[in-house]
Structure 1
């Protein structure tokens, strides 16, 4: 069976010699047939025919073995008239040797020679490639050798760019270029393919006016905060702005924190105290002995020694707000409350060691407490609430959001708590309580709240759209006097709420709302979302993220209907595009424009 393929391998010097001598597979086959004809014809018969075939194959194997093996190694195409029936099997040692030679050639980076011919005689290689591959047959002298050019006869030094002449010998660089071959030609770089993956670009639109001179000075001071003491006293008017600016890149250190310290300070706020060590926090109290209000965000390095120092260094402290006091133990909290009986505001977030004995000590020692925040406190449970009930009649701010266990506080316990303290509350945050349902709205909030201005009930999956709608529809006339409209409403991440609840909320509090969070209200229809701008004209911050029906028209209604608007969050709103209306001073955050890059 004739074989026709395009498999080509490296051409050896012997192959080239045989080709120039006219020895081809066709001549070899003709020689075999000639020998078979010259032999006497044997008697016909099956056994004699087999012997003749075997003898013919033996002649080919013995007499022409080198030629046949050479051509087989080169993978040359065989003629249709040559029926090579057998191939000698290589030993394992020979196969291993051939594999080793192939690997050695691959490591040297030798290119495959395309000098072999095909049956149709076609040549698909370009002139430069075919010529350069054909010249690789003769052994090249080592680099640095002096040889004569086979064309011009001039002596030149062999380099890695030296190429062989078609008729033998080697060409210098000048003659090689004259023949149309550039020895210094580099292979073309492969074309880079564009990735097929889809990338999501999130667009934020925020237009800023030209910064004022004060803002420019604050930016310069914050970028050179370590050297700011050379300017002397810069005053206290812009210290808060500088503190916010350096908190963005956590530039506050124990060395430059003294910029904010003053013996006359009564109010101190540091928005990022990550780099402040316990000794520097103790020095803070020593250098600001008259503080009455202190706020420290990200104060994770605070430990028992810091509060122990504050017990003596901050005798006038009345309000403290801490974010992340992880290392403070329960006994240290108790001693702090005992040394600060004048506390009116205690607001902490993320304090896993704060337990029921701490809240008991706080209520007993700080009888004038009006603000209480126990946010993300891991041990918060029902046994905390009876102690908080003792603050009835004086508590105006209560935040018990995100307990360590979402089901640690029951619906009945929270209802009982509001029965005692609800009348004076202006801010209430009970987000993250998984057991909170519609019953709490009608038994806790509706009959016992009179002055509530801010309500946060996010991540309360038991609330229903119909229940919330009925609550807001009847809340205004539930008591005498009724609860006034809310200024801040955060009911996000409640997927069961929708159009009825939003319409009732706008009917009850739309005229006074300054911020509203309906993030995740996937069932809220577009026509109700588009009324936010008209029914709540005092809105400043709006979060309609992951509301499936929010669109460009929703943003248009907000920017046109709310003159004081500063921020609109539209994360996950696929119908809000990059072409949504924009307004100077209004930041539209989270536009997810789908672009293929």
Structure 2
């Protein structure tokens, strides 16, 4: 038994791998592998020792050049990195143009040296991280996540998003961007926009105007406007409003304790606290004009009532968050001092009861404007008729108002009125016009707009027999019959037609400065030629709106230039008969419907010169037509 166990033990073998079996099968041993390796290494050392004396000097020279190039490149990268870091920290975004060397000859030593430097730099470049991995910013050392849009820094590392933006901004500065050449540049569009708004500029701008425009351009960088006069502050407020920059920070520039007015035409960016700040800084304010005051709430109104003890003039538009009770409280506490109240775009509150309270508690009111107040009805008109101190009245209501109530209003307050504006009174008829002619004898401004009931004969009788002095402002626009099936209108003309147009121009010829007959499409060509014949004179006429009066043509416009020596602005949208008009110096014609022309035309010569050129062009065109017919 013992012998069998010893024999089995002698035959025990450990596990053999496939490699061991392969080496044994091919008669390969570990000793043989070691001997072959030692022999190859000895042979390589002998070969290297034999070649060393020949290559030693050249290798040392190459190593020295490589080291010097690496040092130079390292210094250059370090210097550039410091410059970029300093630029980004200062936030000055000034680009530094890289100087370009002269073109080198192909195969020169400089080119070889440059290639060698690039190779050395490529050897020492860091491995770029893949998107999604974390990396430290080369400039600010902040940890950030790499994205496909990460920028590369001056030393080859990656930059975080803020540093990348700054570096891109630096690269863009100094690159000359070609100006876009179009049919109309930005400056020209600005000029045209101002002229369409009624701001007509002839010649060079004044120093004050240039300063105002410069201040408006940099509104966000101004800390104080100084002691500017109120009229300049109001003009700045208008520009800031148009540019939509009237925000809480900018509002502080206009609040001064020594100024008696607050004028902000667009309060869309202002909140309730901003309104309270106005009256906290200017408690002695007398005039408040706030347009688009959508955040003017009850608490703001109550604060104004308590603080603004000297308030006399209030213009408030779109303040729909003020309740009826707060309006009544304001009239009770401040109504005695009020001289002007102008309210518009009130939909949610302010009803007939509030107008009655206004009349009750504001006995000294001289100017009242109520436009687009949706809840007002005929009770409000009856209440207003008791305001015997009114001198200026403007009304625009959406509800139906009987003519009897309008006649009562005109009979009670008409004798003292200097301004009467009635808009969108669709049912106002000839009886009301007759009452205006009988009771209103002091008007300087008259507006009757958007009516399709009053006849041409009634208006002609009004202006022919009216004992009122000549009007300064006359607006009778959109008074015409509206019937698509009968575009020429009924036999008895509705609105402003030939007879009434001739009569009103004869009545107010000496004083009229602003005339609006827009959309009065029943005015005949013969009436226009008779009124603007070049012989009748309108010495004060400065602005006229003839838009959509289809009979207006080039000849009518020429007669207008001759008859109105002080004319500055003509609006003629939709007048398709105007062709080849020559505008005198100092006059702007807006809306001439010629696709190839600008929307306005500006004069550069005297009236006689302009008329002569127009006559010459008219004669040439007629001569060409005669020849073509022959």
Q: How far 1:595 moved relative to its partner?
A: 4.7
Q: How far 1:234 moved relative to its partner?
A: 4.4
- Give the one of 361, 365, 370 matched to 1:369: 365
Tell me which residue corresponds to 1:528. Answer: 527
Counterparts of 1:269 and 1:552 in 2: how far apart (Å)? 42
Tell me which residue corresponds to 1:16. Answer: none
- Write the deviation string for residues 219-239 of structure 1: whole angstroms up to 9, x where unpaired: 110011122225654454521
The 5 A counterparts of 1:227-238 are 227-229=221-223, 232-236=226-230, 238=232
Tell me which residue corresponds to 1:386. Answer: 382
Deviates more, 1:411-420 or 1:239-248: 239-248
TM-score by length of structure 1 reads: 0.61
Tell me which residue corresponds to 1:550. Answer: 552
Q: How far 1:448 moved relative to its partner?
A: 1.0
Normalized per residue, which structure has more helix?
2
TM-score by length of structure 2 reads: 0.58
SS of structure 1 residue aligned to 2:376: coil
SS of structure 2 residue aligned to 1:418: helix
- Give the one of 556, 575, 578 matched to 2:577: 575
Determine whether 1:515 maps to 2:514: yes
Sort the Cα spacing of 1:230 and 1:455 in 2 relative to 1 into closer, same or farther, 3 A. closer
- Write the deviation string for residues 388-410 of structure 1: whole angstroms up to 9, x where unpaired: 12212x11011112x123xx111
- Write the deviation string for residues 356-382 of structure 1: whole angstroms up to 9, x where unpaired: 110111111111111111111112211
Q: How far 1:208 moved relative to its partner?
A: 3.5
The 5 A counterparts of 1:107-506 are 208-229=202-223, 232-236=226-230, 238-340=232-334, 341-352=336-347, 353-392=349-388, 394-401=389-396, 403-405=397-399, 408-442=400-434, 444-476=435-467, 483-495=468-480, 496=494, 497-506=496-505
Number of aligned pairs? 385
Sort the Cα spacing of 1:225 and 1:472 in 2 relative to 1 into closer, same or farther, 3 A. same
Greater relative CO (CA pairs within 8 A, separation 6+)? 1
Counterparts of 2:578 and 2:263 in 1: how far apart (Å)? 38
CA contact (8 A) 2:423 2:447 kept: yes
Counterparts of 2:330 and 2:438 in 1: how far apart (Å)? 37
Tell me which residue corresponds to 2:568. Answer: 566
SS of structure 2 residue aligned to 1:430: strand
Q: How far 1:328 moved relative to its partner?
A: 1.8
Q: How far 1:241 moved relative to its partner?
A: 2.0
Sort the Cα spacing of 1:223 and 1:438 in 2 relative to 1 into closer, same or farther, 3 A. same
Q: How far 1:585 moved relative to its partner?
A: 3.6
Q: How far 1:501 moved relative to its partner?
A: 0.8
Sort the Cα spacing of 1:243 and 1:585 in 2 relative to 1 into closer, same or farther, 3 A. farther
Counterparts of 2:218 and 2:445 in 1: how far apart (Å)? 39
Q: How far 1:566 moved relative to its partner?
A: 2.5
Counterparts of 1:364 and 1:458 in 2: how far apart (Å)? 29
Counterparts of 2:227 and 2:395 in 1: how far apart (Å)? 41
Tell me which residue corresponds to 2:593. Answer: 592
Counterparts of 2:587 and 2:268 in 1: how far apart (Å)? 31
Over the aligned positions, Cα root-mean-square deviation in angstroms equals: 2.3
CA contact (8 A) 1:552 1:581 kept: no
SS of structure 2 residue aligned to 1:588: strand
Structure 2: give runs of 5+ residues left out of the alignment: 1-191, 481-493, 598-630
